[in-house]
Amino acid sequence: MSTGNRITTELKSDADLYKVLGEGNTPQLYAKPVRVVTSYDVPYGGGSSVDGSEVYIDRELYREVKSGEVAVKGMTADQIIQAWVEHEHTEWAVDVGDNPVDRYQAAHEFAEAKEDRFVRQLGVDPDFYEKCISEALKRAQARPVRHPPPELWCGPYLDEPTARDKQIISDFRRHGVEDAFKKSKIDVAYGIGSKECRTCAMFGNYAGDKGDLRHCDLVSGLVRIDRVCDCHQPRKGKGNGK
């Protein structure tokens, strides 16, 4: 996750950002309405549900912003929260959308660009904004995880985890966060190939699964019908996942 996981590499340009947001079904996913939920512990400050219908903001971080303990000159409390929502929802849409990005870290770079663009549009320097929120995000990451969102997408913690990520994942599992028990897309070499998810026994077995984007029994987040991974298990019978 992701709001608090600031990457130090150069941000994507506006051209790169809007190119990927226009690929395949990514614009439809990005346009999907989301519910902002502020009643859970989210160690990186923010996150998304697996299905992208909810964006989570850490409850203590949310309280700090709304009370004015965390403030950015030139931004209201609601605008700070909205910047984080822009980040989280962009990250989710790019990660699962039908575009060239199939890894969390790359999706995160586009999310950073979207967040910073939102801040710039308010006339606030993104570097100044980041300095204002950085200590609060560090506090969120260090706090104990007592009440995480059950539907949290855990890809940001599972992909190339740090020692702290591994501790957080352990806490998520202890509290029953389902996606924390799954494998990273990196670990299973999720990508393009011949044995597509549509023919795999682990694809699309959740209630309500339909269309090109579904749950996998093994892999974190949602997976696309035309992607592959190293853990493919042939589906028995004639079903093809359509």
Residue 102: what pLDDT? 86
Residue 9: what pLDDT? 54
pLDDT tens-digit profile, the chain (242 residues)? 345 554 445 678 888 988 999 999 999 999 999 999 999 999 999 999 999 999 999 999 999 999 999 999 999 999 999 999 999 999 999 999 999 998 898 999 999 999 999 999 999 999 999 999 999 999 999 999 999 999 999 999 999 999 999 999 999 999 999 999 999 999 999 988 888 999 999 999 999 999 999 999 999 999 999 999 999 999 886 455 55
Say which residues have a Cβ less than 8 Å from residue 235's Cβ, sequence separation at least 6. Answer: 199, 200, 201, 203, 241
Show me where the domains of the chain are located.
14-181, 187-242
Residue 178's alpha-carbon distances to 3, 58, 127, 216, 218, in angstroms, are 21, 19, 36, 12, 11
Residue 25: what pLDDT? 93
CATH of 187-242, one of 4.10.490.10, 1.10.1760.20, 3.40.980.10, 1.10.3720.10: 4.10.490.10
Residue 183's alpha-carbon distances to 29, 150, 169, 189, 220, in angstroms, are 23, 17, 11, 10, 6
Residue 231: what pLDDT? 94
* Spatial separation of the C-alpha atoms in residues 235 and 242, rounded to whole Å: 12
Residue 215: what pLDDT? 97
CA trace torsion 67, 69, 74, 77 (10° rounding): -30
Q: What is the pTM of this model?
A: 0.92
* Spatial separation of the C-alpha atoms in residues 40 and 80, rounded to whole Å: 18
* Spatial separation of the C-alpha atoms in residues 119 and 117, rounded to whole Å: 5
Residue 1: what pLDDT? 35
* Spatial separation of the C-alpha atoms in residues 17 and 113, rounded to whole Å: 7
